[in-house]
């Protein structure tokens, strides 16, 4: 029989949750705690907890500390956070604690029931895959390393199946910093992949959508990420990686002069500012040549090279191959339709 713990200091909310869970989970053992101290006592007393519903804003220790304490004892329990406030900074601080979901009050009854009863078609392997990817995404976002995040996206989409692409879109939709319009775009893309598969025709649209979503997520994340001016410069290079990235624009975002940034960037990173941007853009160009159906002229424009011939020269200088030769050589192992 499942063991569920409700940590909620509002009696009406606690009673409502208790009633829904009792009616939806047969023979569930349900425990309640109105403060963080009582929740920690329950964690110590119970041999096993399957599911924890915890309000962030309970009397101290707060919900985050309760989750941290639970994780020190139990790494398998499912944790669902509830809150009346859409506080991204708080959520971000808990990413490493394997929080399954973040529900904003008032919570619909159907949403709670969905959390109690995972889809019957989801087998153990699929659930484990989703959990592992969620944790990987949360860890990368918590690190606030934009370049590392982009490298992850390019690597993941290089070998992804239809179901994995949909899973990525689903998990990104759950990020609390994402605007509703972006959630709807990701949802629409997931639907297209469901119907037509993850084809070369959809690759650039999916990558572009994840890049736009990443901007919203990282814009919120950076507020609590201490950065020196080099890190800030690299952050804004990645944020605008498909655009026309200039030294003056990035220097203004890093709050230093262009001359000083140019000099210190090379000293810190080991390569010049322009060379660094070129190498980062070429990573995206390689991915688009391999997996998208964009022709070379369109590809160059999407990455803000206005002159396709210039792009071809730069690409060959960086990779030793022309874009067309690179695409041809990479076509053999390609399996995506």
DSSP-derived secondary structure for 126-194: HHHHHHHHHHHHHHHHHHT-HHHHHHHHHHHHTS--HHHHHHHHHHHHT-TT--HHHHHHHHHHHHHHH
Please indicate, yes or no, if residue 337 is contained in any of the structural domains.
Answer: no
Last residue of some domain: 175, 203, 222?
222
Q: Is residue 290 part of a domain?
A: no
- Shared domain for 19 and 86, answered yes or no, is yes
Per-residue pLDDT, 41: 95
Whole-number pLDDT of residue 130 = 81
The mean predicted confidence, pLDDT, of the chain is: 89
Instruction: Look at residue 88 and tell me if it is in a domain.
Output: yes
Domain residues for 217? 124-222
Flag whether pLDDT at 95 surpasses 50: yes
Residue 162 lies in a domain: yes
- Cβ distance 81 to 94 under 8 Å? yes
CATH for 78 = 3.40.50.2300
Instruction: Give me the pLDDT at residue 304, please.
Output: 96
Residues 75 and 150 reside in one and the same domain: no
Same domain (yes/no): 103, 187: no
Strands laid side by side in the 78-83 sheet: 29-33, 3-7, 51-55, 78-83, 101-104
User: 278 lies in a domain?
Assistant: no
Report, as an integer, the average pLDDT of 13-24.
93
150 lies in a domain? yes
Q: Do residues 91 and 131 both lie within one domain? A: no
Which distant-in-sequence residues (6+ apart) come within 8 Å of 262 by Cβ? Answer: 247, 272, 273
Residue 245 and residue 234: Cα distance in Å, rounded?
Answer: 11
DSSP secondary structure letter of residue 107 = P
CA atoms within 13 A on the CB side of 319: 26
Same domain, 129 and 68: no
Q: What is the pLDDT of residues 280-323, one digit of tens each?
A: 999 999 999 999 999 999 999 999 998 999 999 999 999 999 99
- pLDDT tier at 93 (50, 70, 90 boundaries)? low
Q: Does residue 144 share a domain with residue 105?
A: no
Predicted confidence at residue 94, as pLDDT, reads 65
Tell me the CA distances in angstroms from 63 to 70, 92, 114, 175, 262, one per residue in order: 10, 14, 22, 19, 45
**139 and 208 co-located in one domain:** yes
At how many degrees (to 10) do helices 308-319 and 273-291 cross? Answer: 100
Residue 20, in any domain of the structure: yes
Determine the average pLDDT of the residues in 225-243: 95
In tens, the pLDDT along 192-230 reads 898 888 999 999 999 999 999 999 999 998 888 889 999
What average pLDDT does the segment 26-49 reach? 93
State whether 192 and 150 are in the same domain. Answer: yes
Q: Cβ neighbours of residue 319 under 8 Å, at least 6 residues apart? A: 282, 286, 326
Do 91 and 176 form a contact (C-beta atoms < 8 A)?
A: yes
**Could you say which of 98, 116, 134 is where a domain stops?**
116
Q: What CA–CA distance (Å, rounded) separates 187 from 170? A: 7
Residues in the chain, overall count = 337
CA distance 299 to 76: 45
Query: What digits encode the pLDDT tens for the residues 135-180?
Result: 888 888 888 899 999 999 999 999 888 999 999 999 998 888 889 8
Joined tokens for residue 242: 């498909």
67 and 166 housed in the same domain: no
Number of domains in the chain: 2
**Among 191, 206, 222, which residue terminates a domain?**
222
Give the contacts of 238 (CB within 8 A, at least 6 positions apart). Answer: 146, 147, 149, 150, 280
* Mean pLDDT, residues 17-27: 92
Residue 91's pLDDT is what?
Answer: 62
317 domain residue, yes or no: no
Calculate the alpha carbon distances from 215 to 84, 284, 294, 330 in Å: 25, 16, 23, 30
**112 and 128 housed in the same domain:** no
**Do residues 129 and 92 share a domain?**
no
For position 121, what pLDDT does the model report? 45
pLDDT for residue 160 = 86
Q: How many other β-carbons are positioned within 10 Å of the β-carbon of residue 207?
A: 21
pLDDT at 335: 47
Place of tokens 């959990």: 131
Of 72-76, 105-109, 332-336, give the range with the top mean pLDDT: 105-109
Is pLDDT of 34 > 80? yes
Identify which of 99, 103, 166, 170 has the alpha carbon closest to the alpha carbon of residue 139.
Answer: 99
Give the separation between CA 278 and CA 298, rounded to whole angstroms: 18
Q: What is the pLDDT of residue 123?
A: 56
76 and 147 in a single domain? The answer is no
Q: What are phi and psi of 138, to 5 degrees?
A: -65, -40
């Amino acid at each position: 029989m499942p063991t569920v713990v409700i940590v909620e200091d509002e009696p009406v909310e606690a009673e409502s949750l208790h009633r829904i869970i009792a009616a939806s989970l047969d023979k569930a053992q349900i425990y309640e705690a109105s403060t963080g101290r009582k929740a920690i006592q329950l964690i110590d007393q119970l041999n096993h907890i399957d599911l924890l519903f915890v309000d962030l804003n309970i009397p101290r220790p707060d919900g985050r500390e309760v989750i941290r304490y639970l994780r020190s004892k139990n790494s398998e329990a499912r944790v669902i956070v509830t809150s009346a406030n859409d506080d991204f900074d708080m959520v971000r601080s808990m990413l490493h604690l394997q929080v399954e979901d973040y529900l904003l009050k008032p919570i619909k009854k159907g949403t709670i029931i969905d959390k109690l009863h995972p889809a019957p078609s989801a087998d153990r392997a699929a659930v484990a895959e989703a959990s592992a990817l969620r944790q990987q995404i949360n860890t990368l976002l918590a690190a606030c390393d934009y370049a590392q995040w982009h490298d992850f996206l390019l690597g993941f989409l290089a070998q992804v199946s239809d179901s994995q692409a949909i899973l990525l879109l689903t998990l990104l939709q759950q990020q609390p910093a994402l605007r509703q319009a972006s959630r709807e775009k990701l949802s629409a893309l997931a639907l297209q992949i469901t119907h037509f598969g993850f084809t070369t025709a959809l690759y650039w649209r999916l990558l572009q959508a994840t890049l736009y979503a990443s901007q919203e997520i990282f814009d919120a994340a950076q507020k609590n990420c201490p950065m020196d001016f080099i890190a800030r410069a690299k952050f804004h290079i990645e944020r605008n990686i498909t655009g026309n990235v200039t030294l003056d624009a990035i220097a203004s975002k890093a709050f230093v002069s262009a001359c000083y940034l140019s000099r210190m960037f090379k000293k810190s990173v080991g390569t010049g500012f322009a060379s660094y941007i070129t190498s980062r853009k070429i990573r995206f160009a390689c991915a688009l040549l391999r997996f998208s159906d964009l022709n070379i002229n369109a590809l160059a424009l999407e990455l803000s090279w206005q002159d396709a011939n210039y792009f071809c020269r730069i690409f060959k200088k960086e990779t030793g191959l022309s874009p067309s030769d690179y695409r041809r050589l990479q076509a053999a192992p390609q399996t995506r339709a």
